[in-house]
Structure 1
Amino acid sequence: MGSQLLAEYNGAHQAVRRRCVVTGGRGFMARHLVAALLRSGEWFVRVTDLTPAIELGRGDTEELLGDALQDGRAVYSSVDVCSLGQLIRAFEGIDVVFHTAAADPSKDNLELHYKVNVEGTRNVIDACKICNVKRLIYTSSSVVVFDGFHGLLNANESVPYPDKFPDAYGQTKAEAEKLVLKANSLNDLVTCCIRPGNIFGPGDHVIPILDHYGRIHFIIGEGNNYDDFVYVENVVHSHLCAEKTLSTKEGAKISGGKAYFITNMEPVNLWCFAYMARTELGYKRPLEIRIPTLVIMPIIYVLELTYKLLLHHYGMRQPQLLTMARVKYLTLNRTFSSDKAVEELGYKPIVSLRDGLRIAVESYIHFKDNVLF
């Protein structure tokens, strides 16, 4: 497989010099990352994911990938991060790995999340060392410092990992991040972790959900909590900034083994953001419904307990609706400082919150109407 990879690379466009892998490359943010890497003209990109074969969707990013697959600037490999052997074959001849693969955050299954997020990341690190990969950039999350009980306002990287987490996703992403940071070594593999806020943009799940409840503006709790939404292209940009920084000796010395919060640097009231999105979608005066936390939490507790009993006796799965953990995410402040990323990675948002929201909604509407976006 290594000789095949080198042959693919040698047959690619001569301007392509560096070789990278994007794990979980068919995910939301990863698709935009792959497109940016290809658009730069500097990379040969191996896209890995679980599906046996790649199925391209609509949109500019998919069209760009399709062209790259045809002319050899990109290849697709079916790889399970839980398989070290598959990762080793995919990483042979590779300089940089962007590790974005993760278990579905909506499924609060500790066994699944531990297997994919923790064991999978450990396999990625081992494969990088075996294949002499130079740099590993891990897509972490701002949830790694959120305990579900205390709000966070302009939190920076000095905030420690909590003892407890509201869900399996946050817990296992934190454990995976620790592994990546510990793996950093200036003489061999240089690592870095990117902690985005709530990512939105073309192809996300945020806008469709808000559209589904478009005429009703739900507010849970007091409605005065702030959050950090970040446009997907800004998250992509932060990954590229991290790679560029780690590629120099000085940058590797400063940023190697560190984690960085990435936001739009425009903290916003969570419910105002939802209202802004609905306005962009064309809902001028949605009906506002406020639900006190003290009212909804007991109801959710009973529902979760009921579904656990049904799962135990009948194998029935819990619908992906509101959960105790999600209410905590929706009712507490969660804003983060990107000053460290600005200073050390040279990061700066390239798309504003308002412009990003407009682009995301326009893309969603086009997709909804089956028009290429």
Structure 2
Amino acid sequence: MKDFQAIGGDRASDPELLSPLFVTGGNGYLGRNLIRHFVAKGFKVVALVRSQQSADVVRVLGARPIVAQLSSPAVTEAMKGCRSLVHAAAHTSHGPETPEHVQVNVEGTRAIFAMARQAGVRRAVHVSTESVLLGGRALINVDENLAVPSRFPGAYSRTKAEAERIVRAQSGNGFEAVIVRPRFVWGRDDTTALPILTQAARSGQMAWINGGEYLTSVTHVANVCHGIELALLKGRAGEAYFITDGEPTTFRSFVSRLLETQGIDPPEKVVPSWLVGTVARAGEFAARLSGGRIKTPVTRQDLATMAVEVTLDITKAKRDLGYTPVVSVDEGMAELKRLASAGGDQQR
């Protein structure tokens, strides 16, 4: 049996070192792409999903589905025999806090990693986010040494930060857990950011905050999958790694290019950040008073994510993992445009 500590160089794609691989969030945007990525390399993949419909999807992609909730004791049995884990399931809403933020991001992570240890899984990657560092101010070329803030802009950042603490606490004594933090995941088969952006642009509700000319890091979904594979094989236990497409771009130019791949003209409307911030605070207050019946159009979590510069230094991933992006922004945009022209089937 090969030892994970001996992994390196040309052996980084050896399926025997990772297989079988257990993936949570199997029918999510990232989960589907992870299944494609690892199955194409010859790995056996077991995917946790929440419904029979989702099970049918991941089965077609080549994974063996397990229908259960994150905290179900049945997951321990399903994990037995798996050598590695990618925990991609998350409640990604940037809206006001709901029970699902804690149930999925905190308690779900706690349960999955405890069961993985019990089942004998040896290596794990927890998919986190740069949002754990957001405090409402710009993050300019930051690295993984930046401490999490004392206050968070919303439930998503807070619960994902708590999940990271849980993962680090679980790592050790024969179970090695690594954290990967992509930023603004995009690309083919996107059922998260791209649909939201296209709907906002088509409805006339999109505007550039302060002109949108601040820089942002972004991560094509293929680069996320590549970075996760390298983290499984080479990442240092308990460490976090930023994964991006490399050089940052301006938020406005990147989102404009995304919209143009879908045949949508980018908006010209500009709004000042102070006005949007006022709307966010008032909307969140109204949502709390109404018990969630009133929906706010924008939240402070939204603004911390998309209204200021957020750029990440990936030197650590390059040094420790040998990471370099496998898909450029130009290549990813060309693929999106080609798929849209072929009829909009992002999954082909």
| TM-score (norm. length: structure 1) | 0.81
Partner of 1:224: 213
2:299 maps to 323
* Corresponding position: 1:25 with 2:6: no
- Counterpart of 2:283 in structure 1 is 303
Alpha-carbon distance, 1:283 to partner? 4.1
Deviation at 1:207, TM superposition (A): 2.7
2:189/2:346 contact within 8 Å kept: no
Shift of 1:259: 0.5
User: Structure 2 CA distance, aligned partners of 1:99 and 1:92?
Assistant: 16
How much has 1:111 moved relative to structure 2? 3.2
C-alpha RMSD of the superposition: 2.4
Shift of 1:325: 2.3
Cα gap change, 1:341 to 1:120, in 2 (>3 Å): same
Offset at 1:287?
4.5
Which residue does the alignment assign to 1:252? none
For the Cα contact (< 8 Å) 1:82–1:115, is it kept in 2? Answer: no
Distance 1:307 1:215 in 2: 23
- Partner of residue 66, structure 1: 60
Indicate the residue corresponding to 2:188 in structure 1: 202
Output the CA distance in 1 between the equivalents of 2:152 and 2:96. Answer: 12
Inter-CA distance 287–189: structure 2 relative to 1 (3 Å threshold): closer
- What code does the residue aligned with 1:256 have? A
Q: Which residue of 2 aligns with 1:6?
A: none
CA contact (8 A) 1:24 1:47 kept: yes
In the TM superposition, residue 324 of structure 1 has moved relative to its aligned partner by 2.8
Q: Which residue of 2 aligns with 1:348?
A: 324
Deviation at 1:304, TM superposition (A): 3.1
Output the TM-score relative to the length of structure 2.
0.87
CA deviation map 1:156-207 (0-9, x unaligned): 011001111111111111111122122222x410110000011001122333
What are the within-5 Å matches in structure 2 for residues 1-373 of structure 1?
17=16, 18-41=19-42, 43-54=43-54, 56=56, 65-66=59-60, 68=62, 74-83=63-72, 85-148=73-136, 150-185=137-172, 187-204=173-190, 205-212=192-199, 213-214=201-202, 218-245=207-234, 255-283=236-264, 286-311=266-291, 316=293, 318=295, 321-364=297-340, 366=342, 368=344, 373=348
Q: Deviations over 1:26-70 (max 9, x none)?
A: 1101111111110001x211110111453556xxxx6xx5163xx
Secondary structure of 1:54 counterpart = helix
Q: Which amino acid aligns with 1:136?
A: A
SS at match of 2:112: helix
Structure ID, larger Rg: 1
The answer for unaligned runs of 5 or more in structure 1 is 1-14, 69-73, 247-254
| Aligned residues of 1:96 and 1:136 also touching (Cα < 8 A) | yes
Aligned residues: 330
Percent identity, aligned pairs only, is 26
Indicate conservation of the 8 Å contact 1:208/1:364, yes or no. Answer: no
After the TM superposition, which of the residue ranges 202-211 and 16-25 deviates more from structure 2? 202-211
Q: Is the 8 A contact 2:138 2:310 kept in 1?
A: yes
SS at match of 1:242: helix
Post-superposition Cα deviations, 1:115-144, rounded to whole Å, max 9, x if no partner, equal 211111111121111111111111011111
Specify the code of the residue in structure 2 equivalent to 1:309: L
User: Per the alignment, do residues 270 and 49 of structure 1 end up closer, same or farther by CA in structure 2, a change over 3 Å counting?
Assistant: same
The 1:309–1:134 alpha-carbon spacing in structure 2 relative to 1, beyond 3 Å, is same
